[in-house]
Structure 1
Amino acid sequence: MSSSVWGNEKTKFFDELTPDQVLKSIEGLGHIVTGRLTPMASMENRVYEIEIENDKAAHISQTFLMAKFYRPGRWSQAQIQDEHDFLFDLLDQEIQVIAPIRYSHESIFETENGLYFAVFPKMGGRACDEWTDDLLEQMGRLLGRLHAIGRTRTASHRLRLDIKTFGEANLDLILKSTYLPLEFEKTYHSLAQNIFQASKDSFSQINYQRVHGDCHHGNILLNQGRPFLIDFDDMSQGPCVQDIWMTIPGRDQESVIQRELMLEAYQQMNEFDRRELKLIEPLRALRIIHFSAWISHRYEDSSFQRAFPSFGSHQYWEQEIAQLREQLRIIEDRSWSP
């Protein structure tokens, strides 16, 4: 099991990845490319839509491939294989996911410069604008099936979603960075440590298994009226509630009602340990810290500077400290119940 959030090697930029190299990589797998290539929005990796010649295409989408080039140094080949194996396991059980295409039984390839990449089919979908009761029930059953399959084997090289990996390691990275102003260091460190201490008991006796790990609204699409999940890049060994709370992240009464409706449908397909609900706020706090560590670790990349122009400012850290104070208050309130 990996304990390093950001990989064991120094990550690099993608400056060496040119359109010609992208097309050449796809040609190397036996495709004839037309030369049409479109970069897609992606912060962590590089993803391209590539047009190919396909005389057997029954639909226009079959004349395109999606190529994902993994950020160098972030994931090892074994960690990427864990992601692909999870997708293959889900697909084998007829769960709609976008799994990589195998070529001679392999799904991970390398460019001449040593960048790992994979090729995926193009699949359409639209954003879920509003959670109706029917969609919540469908989503609950989907996550129930996904977690039942996730439990069948371990992603032994993937990160463990716990305080040590997503809390302490990320805090250490932030404190060692140049982006947290000196006057905020003591407060930030103290708040984070108090959150870790207050959350420790909630993580005891919890089962860890393969989960999506990043099940936010942008990673849930609808196809023919049914929800499906995309982007398993951050899949981890974690508690099932990680995917539950990220699907319905709110704390208000409406969100609680929606979560319960989803869980009721979930339990038609899988058991759910309700003790995990106590992890929602600790996991939310870990995500806040993890997000700032992620930006800090990537901020030399100009794309991150454009996306997060206020990062490192006093205003940024004042807002984050206020968020963490609120998280600590909720976690320490033993009367809190999801």
Structure 2
Amino acid sequence: MSSDPVGLYDDSFYKLQPDVVLKSVEAAGLAPTGHCQQLNSYENRVFDLKLEDGSHVITKFYRPLRWTDEQILEEHAFLFELQQNDIPVCAPLRFPDGSTLKSIEGLRFTVWPRTGGRSADELTDSQLQLIGRLLGRIHNVGASKESATRWRLNAGHFALAPLAYLEEREFLPPSLLPRYRKAVLHAVELFEDLSKGIPVHRIHGDCHIGNLLYSREQDDENFFFLDFDDFLTGPAVQDFWMLAPAVDADGLRQRAVMIDAYRSFRDFDDRQLRLIGPLRAFRYIHYAGWIAKRWSDPAFPLSFPHFGTDEYWEKETQDLERLLREIDEPQVGEKADDTQTTENSEELTNADFFWDWEG
């Protein structure tokens, strides 16, 4: 197993110093007190800073080489579009010159307001309905124009490219490589077949429960949608299954509740439900490639010590094969379109799909 090429990232990103973080906030015309707390984030470097007026802001330093300036600015523009439609999202603050993206010591950064609220451990039906309606409104805005620079949720980006990287860098043990490659290519085949004719548009892309903040004022409930860093063009169902990833009967029911509420604002093509299986498989493949590409980041070997072991790849291969078998061989009397589930299926949790999931 080999790591990324030496020098792919500069140490300035790995070892970001507090004085650089404070300067980034001052560039926004704000006055920090010096209180600076690093927040959990594997992909970027994110800090909570207290200002002299007692309020807080968040500064995000983008991982080098992941997005172009144009791709980051398109994310910001999408957030402002959503805000203009009264959709509760967290959008970046503007610098004095009106821009939202700056660079300091070669690192690009954005300053954000700190959004109040808390993460929801479990979602009630009324909350699921609220989220479904908000997703309908988000997707209406997303479908109003095409993305100019962001990725499309397709087999190339989320299966074939990660597979190629894993093979080229020899992360996979030779004994498991043929099986793993066969499973990936089968997932690609299924996705290509089942996605024919399915509409796509701009979506959140990484819409799991950790990217929602819940607040309640008297009888009013609301959710803020956070972290559109992975926003892309894809099928609407991607944002549903990630919020309710379980494969048991309750997971199916939760998705149905959200989709029913979604339809009060936007139509939903039920054929999309057949994509959940291949999209689950893509999530496994993409995350394996994501960790591999960042293996030279000192945080990754510490956070994922199991990654790259024979045991890890055996489990990954078995999980992929099992997911694909469940698509290929639904039980007698069972549909393959996510409307039913098998009693013998092993229940998958958030930790199975979100490697950085805590809780």
Same fold (TM over 0.5): yes
2:327 counterpart of 1:331: yes
2:171 counterpart of 1:175: no
Q: Cα RMSD over matched residues?
A: 1.7
Q: Which amino acid counterpart does residue 115 of structure 1 have in structure 2?
A: L
Residue 332 of structure 1: how far off its partner (Å): 2.0
Instruction: Give the TM-score normalised by the residue count of structure 1.
Output: 0.92
**For the residues of structure 2 that align with 1:176 and 1:162, how far apart are their CA atoms?**
21
Partner of 1:38: 37
Structure 1 12/186 Cα, relative in aligned 2: closer, same or farther at 3 Å?
Answer: farther
**For the residues of structure 2 that align with 1:23 and 1:199, how far apart are their CA atoms?**
46
- Give the 3-state SS of the residue equivalent to 1:237 in structure 2: strand
**For the residues of structure 2 that align with 1:223 and 1:230, how far apart are their CA atoms?**
13
Q: How many residues align?
A: 323
Partner of 1:57: none
Partner of 2:281: 285
| 1:205-227 deviations in Å (ceiling 9; x for gaps) | 12221111011121122022322
**For the residues of structure 1 that align with 2:190 and 2:147, how far apart are their CA atoms?**
28
User: Hey, which bits of structure 1, 4+ residues long, moved more than 3 A?
Assistant: 9-13
| 1:151-174 deviations in Å (ceiling 9; x for gaps) | 112221111101121111111111
| 1:26-71 deviations in Å (ceiling 9; x for gaps) | 21222222111111111000011112223xxxxx5xx211000000
Q: Which amino acid counterpart does residue 37 of structure 1 have in structure 2?
A: C
Partner of 1:98: 90
* Residues 119, 212 of structure 2: 8 Å contact kept: yes
Partner of 1:120: 112
Residue 15 of structure 1: how far off its partner (Å): 3.6
Q: Percent of pairs identical after alignment? A: 40
**For the residues of structure 2 that align with 1:328 and 1:149, how far apart are their CA atoms?**
33
- Give the 3-state SS of the residue equivalent to 2:242 in structure 1: helix
- Give the 3-state SS of the residue equivalent to 1:35 in structure 2: strand
**For the residues of structure 1 that align with 2:127 and 2:14, how far apart are their CA atoms?**
42
**For the residues of structure 2 that align with 1:333 and 1:77, how far apart are their CA atoms?**
45
Q: Which amino acid counterpart does residue 129 of structure 1 have in structure 2?
A: D
Instruction: Give the TM-score normalised by the residue count of structure 2.
Output: 0.86
Partner of 2:18: 19
Q: Structure 1, unaligned stretches of length 5 or more?
A: 1-5, 55-59
Residue 11 of structure 1: how far off its partner (Å): 4.3
**Which residues in structure 2 correspond to 1:193-212 (within 5 Å)?**
193-212=185-204
Q: Which amino acid counterpart does residue 302 of structure 2 have in structure 1?
A: R
Q: Which amino acid counterpart does residue 250 of structure 1 have in structure 2?
A: A
**For the residues of structure 2 that align with 1:24 and 1:253, how far apart are their CA atoms?**
51
Residue 204 of structure 1: how far off its partner (Å): 1.2
**For the residues of structure 1 that align with 2:270 and 2:10, how far apart are their CA atoms?**
41
- Give the 3-state SS of the residue equivalent to 1:226 in structure 2: strand
**For the residues of structure 2 that align with 1:129 and 1:312, how far apart are their CA atoms?**
31
